[in-house]
């Protein structure tokens, strides 16, 4: 009787998975580094209704100056543009790792017809851009008294 030695399928699978992981890491990490150092990025945004008077949009724009941010409202579209630059005091050779995004960005949002575009206001504080979008008077809910007929 011949003894047949079975190989460990899990060991072979682990080796195969390691090979795939190395291939993906080598391929995509270089592209990821390029994307992280320059180019376009998308700042995260929250939009919510504050009571029945306004919509509020908050965008995270850390380490940016107020002058580097533009907010425009045109034809029912709110657009935020800007550019986040890498710190000038640190040269590219000095970086060991870059995980924060740098470069230009542009975000556009269609405004509902209930927003009064002439009264939009923006404030930038502690790395957060807050845009207040007041609602038109006629779009605010109102209570109607109902009379009961006798």
Global pTM reads 0.65
CATH of the domain at 63: 2.60.40.790
18 lies in some domain: no
> What is the number of structural domains in the chain?
1
Which tens digit of pLDDT belongs to each residue from 39-69? 568 999 999 998 888 999 999 999 999 999 9
Question: In which band, very low, low, confident or very high, does the pLDDT at 13 lie, cut at 50, 70 and 90?
Answer: low
16 lies in some domain: no
Of 128, 116, 134, 115, which is closest to residue 45 (Cα–Cα)? 128
144 lies in some domain: no
| Cβ neighbours around 5 below 10 Å, total | 4
| Cβ neighbours around 42 below 10 Å, total | 10
Residues forming a β-bridge with 131: 57, 122
125 lies in some domain: yes
21 lies in some domain: no
What is the span of the domain harbouring residue 92?
Answer: 45-139
Of 50, 62, 40, which is closest to residue 131 (Cα–Cα)? 50
72 lies in some domain: yes
**Residue 93 confidence (pLDDT) above 90:** no
């Amino acid at each position: 009787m011949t003894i047949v030695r079975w190989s460990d399928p899990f060991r072979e699978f682990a080796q195969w998975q390691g090979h795939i992981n190395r291939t993906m890491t080598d391929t995509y990490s270089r592209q990821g580094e390029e994307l992280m150092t320059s180019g376009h990025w998308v700042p995260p945004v929250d939009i919510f209704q504050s009571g029945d008077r306004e919509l509020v949009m908050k965008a995270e724009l850390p380490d940016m100056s107020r002058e580097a941010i533009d907010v425009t409202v045109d034809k029912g579209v709110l657009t935020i543009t800007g550019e986040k630059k890498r710190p000038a005091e640190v040269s590219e050779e000095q970086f060991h790792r870059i995980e924060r995004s740098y470069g230009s960005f542009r975000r556009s949002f269609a405004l509902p017809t209930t927003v009064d575009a002439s009264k939009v206001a923006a404030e930038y504080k502690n790395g957060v851009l807050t845009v207040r979008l007041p609602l038109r008077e006629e779009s605010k809910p109102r209570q109607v008294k109902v009379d009961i007929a006798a």
